[in-house]
Amino acid sequence: MIYRRKNTSVSAFVMIFMTMIQMSCTTTTPSDLSKESIIPRPVSIITTGDRFLLKENADIYIKSESPELLQVGQCLADILKPSTGFDIEVKSTVNDPEPGNIYLTMPTSNANLGNEGYELTITKNLVKLAANTPEGLFRGIQTIRQILPSDIEKNSKTERSWEIATGTVTDYPLYSYRGAMLDVARHFFSVNDVKRFIDFMACYKMNVLHLHLADDQGWRIEIKSWPNLAERGGSTQVGGGNGGYYTQEQYSEIVNYAEKRYITIIPEIDMPGHTNAALASYAELNCNGKATELYTGIKVGFSTLCTNKEITYKFVDDVVRELAGMTPGPYIHIGGDESHVTKKEDYIPFVSKVQDIVIAHGKQVIGWDEISLSSLKANSVAQYWSNAENAKRAVNQGIKLVVSPGAKAYLDMKYDSTTTLGQHWAGYIEVDTAYIWDPATLVPGIGKENVLGVEAPLWTETISNMEDMEYMVFPRLPGYAEIGWTPASMRKWDEYKVRLGEQGERFKAMGINYYKSGRVPWPDTEK
C-alpha cells in the first residue's frame, strides 16, 4: 500500500515535470504563421493559431503519378530527410491523405496564382500545398522549408520536434524574371559550385541564372566547331590560374540541374568587345590576322571582334547554333557592353546581324543596355546596368528591360570601405542599399510595364572561390529575390531586416559564409 502510494506520487511528479517541459517547449514552438520569417514575403498569410507536427511516420502524397510531380515531391523529401532522419516516402493518392502527412496537389481554381503561385494550407492534421503547375508547387516547397525550424537545413540528423504554425499562405510573384548572374569567365567555377549557387537561388524562389560564359580572360564553354575557344581561350583566368571550361555534357548537367529547380539558364557570349579569349584562340577573328596574347588582368573595353570580316559571322553563327542546342530556355545573351574600341558605325550593324543569327536559331536576344543603339526586334530584351539613356532608348523601341543597376544590384560591389573583396566603381552596396529600391520607379520614364524583372550579377574579377562568392552573395541575394517577387507596397526595410536576421540561422545550417552586416538584427548578436 505504502509502496503503491509512493509510486503514485512519483508518477504524479513525473507528470508535472513532463507538463512543465512541454509548457516550456510550447513557448518556443510556432503558433502564428504570420510571424514566420519568410523571404520573399508572401502576398497573403492568414493565421489560425494551431500547430502541425511533422512526425517520423509522415509521408509526402502527390495527386497524380506524373513523373514531374513525383520529382517535385522527391525534392521536398530530399530537403526534409537528412535533418529529421525520417524515412519520408513520396506516394500518390486522389483524396486528402491521412492526418500527419503532406499533400501536393494541382491544379487549383485560383487563376491569380498563375504558373509560379501556390496556396499552402496548414491545419493541425495536414500540410496541403496546391498550385496550377509543378513549378508553383516547387516554389511553395520553399515556403514549407522556411516555416520549419532552421535546423531543417542541416544535413545531419537533429533530434528535435518539427512543428509548423497553421494557417494559409496565398502567394505569387510580381515579376516573371527573377535572376542572378554568375561570371565564370573572370574566374572559373566548377559544375558543383554552380549547382550550389543554383540551390541558393531556388531557396528564394529565383528563376533565371544568367551565366557569363566568355570574356577577355576566359572562354568557358566547349564549342565543338571551334575547339580552340575552350582549349586555349579557357586555359587561364584573372591572376593567371588554370581557368577551365565546361564540356557540353557538363554544361547540360548544369542546365538539367537548374531545370529540375525551375530555373532557366541564360548563356552569355559577350561580343563584340570582351572577346580577347576568342581573339587569342583564333587569329582569323582579328582584323590584322594575328592572334592576341591570353589576358589575365582586369581592365575592360580593349578588345573587339573584327566586325567587317565575314568569318566573324560564321563564328557567331556556329557558336550560337551550338549554344542554342544546349539551351532549352528562350534566351541567348549577346553581351554588347563596353565595346569601346569598336567604332559606333560598326557596332550598330554588328548587333543587328547577331540579333538575326540568334533569331534564326530559334532564340530571343538579351543584351546589355548598349544594344539599344541598334534597332531591336520586338521580343529582344535589354539589360539596364548603367546608362539610363540606353535603357530609355530600348523602352522607346517597345523593348522590355531586365533591371540590374550597378549601384543597387551588383553583387560584386563592396558592402563598405572595409570590405576586402569586390569593387566599388558603382559605390558601396550595404544590405539596406541593396534592398531599398524599386525597379519600376528607379528611372523616370521607365515604369513597371517596361520591366520584365530584376537580376543581380556577380562579377568575379576579385572572387575566385566559393567562400568568397558566398560572402558577396549573402545576405544580399534574398533581398533581390524579394524585390522580384513581392509587391513594392509590401516591402519595408525595417520589417524586412528582422526577417533577414532570422535567416542567419539558416545560412549557418547550410554552411554559408555570409557577411554579418551591422544593419541587420541577427538574433545571435542581440543583447
Output 385 or 515, the one with its CB closest to ligand NGO. Answer: 385
Q: Are 171 and 66 in contact (CB under 8 A)?
A: no
Output 135 or 215, the one with its CB closest to ligand NGO. Answer: 215
Which of 322, 338, 455, 470 lies at the binding interface for ligand NGO (CB under 6 A)?
338
Asked if residue 300 binds ligand NGO (CB under 6 A), the reply is: yes
Alpha helices, H only, 326-387: 344-360
Asked if residue 385 binds ligand NGO (CB under 6 A), the reply is: yes
Which CA distances in Å does 123 have to 62, 140, 169, 235? 18, 16, 12, 56
Q: Are 170 and 43 in contact (CB under 8 A)?
A: yes
- Spatial CA neighbour of 167 closest among 124, 137, 130: 124
CB of 340 to ligand NGO, least distance (A): 11
Which of 268, 317, 322, 337 lies at the binding interface for ligand NGO (CB under 6 A)?
337
Which of 108, 115, 252, 423 lies at the binding interface for ligand NGO (CB under 6 A)?
423
Q: Are 487 and 112 in contact (CB under 8 A)?
A: no
Residue nearest to ligand NGO as judged by C-beta position? 459
In one letter, which amino acid is 502?
E
Output 410 or 415, the one with its CB closest to ligand NGO. Answer: 410
CB of 81 to ligand NGO, least distance (A): 40
Alpha carbon 354 to its chain centroid, in Å, reads 28
Output 385 or 514, the one with its CB closest to ligand NGO. Answer: 385
Output 285 or 413, the one with its CB closest to ligand NGO. Answer: 413
Rg (CA), the chain: 26
CB of 217 to ligand NGO, least distance (A): 10
Asked if residue 246 binds ligand NGO (CB under 6 A), the reply is: no
Measured CA to CA, the distance from residue 22 to residue 19 in angstroms comes to: 5
Measured CA to CA, the distance from residue 520 to residue 526 in angstroms comes to: 10
CB of 298 to ligand NGO, least distance (A): 8
Q: Kindly state the cell numbers that stand for 360.
A: 534564326
Interacting residues with ligand NGO between 365 and 384 (CB under 6 A): 368
Output 17 or 425, the one with its CB closest to ligand NGO. Answer: 425
Q: Are 43 and 490 in contact (CB under 8 A)?
A: yes
Measured CA to CA, the distance from residue 132 to residue 114 in angstroms comes to: 7
CB of 373 to ligand NGO, least distance (A): 15
CB of 335 to ligand NGO, least distance (A): 8
Compute the 3-state secondary structure of the chain and give helix, strand, coil in percent, each to the nearest 5. Answer: 40, 20, 40
Q: Count CA atoms closer than 13 A to 146's CA, side-chain side.
A: 29
Asked if residue 204 binds ligand NGO (CB under 6 A), the reply is: no
Which residue in 338, 370, 461, 502 is the catalytic one?
Answer: 338
Measured CA to CA, the distance from residue 243 to residue 421 in angstroms comes to: 20
Q: Are 280 and 201 in contact (CB under 8 A)?
A: no
Q: Are 415 and 433 in contact (CB under 8 A)?
A: no
Q: Are 175 and 453 in contact (CB under 8 A)?
A: yes
Output 101 or 386, the one with its CB closest to ligand NGO. Answer: 386
Which phi-psi region, left, alpha or beta, contains residue 194 (left: φ > 0; alpha: ψ -120 to 50)?
alpha
Binding flags for ligand NGO, 452-481, as an x/- string (CB under 6 A): -------x-x--------------------
Whether 389 is catalytic: no
Asked if residue 412 binds ligand NGO (CB under 6 A), the reply is: yes
CB of 419 to ligand NGO, least distance (A): 14
- Considering CB under 6 A, how many residues would be counted as binding ligand NGO? 10
Output 117 or 405, the one with its CB closest to ligand NGO. Answer: 405
- Write the DSSP assignment of 397-409 as a string of letters: TT-EEEE--HHHH
CB of 187 to ligand NGO, least distance (A): 11
Residues classed as catalytic? 338
Binding site for ligand NGO (CB under 6 A): 300, 337-338, 368, 385, 410, 412, 423, 459, 461
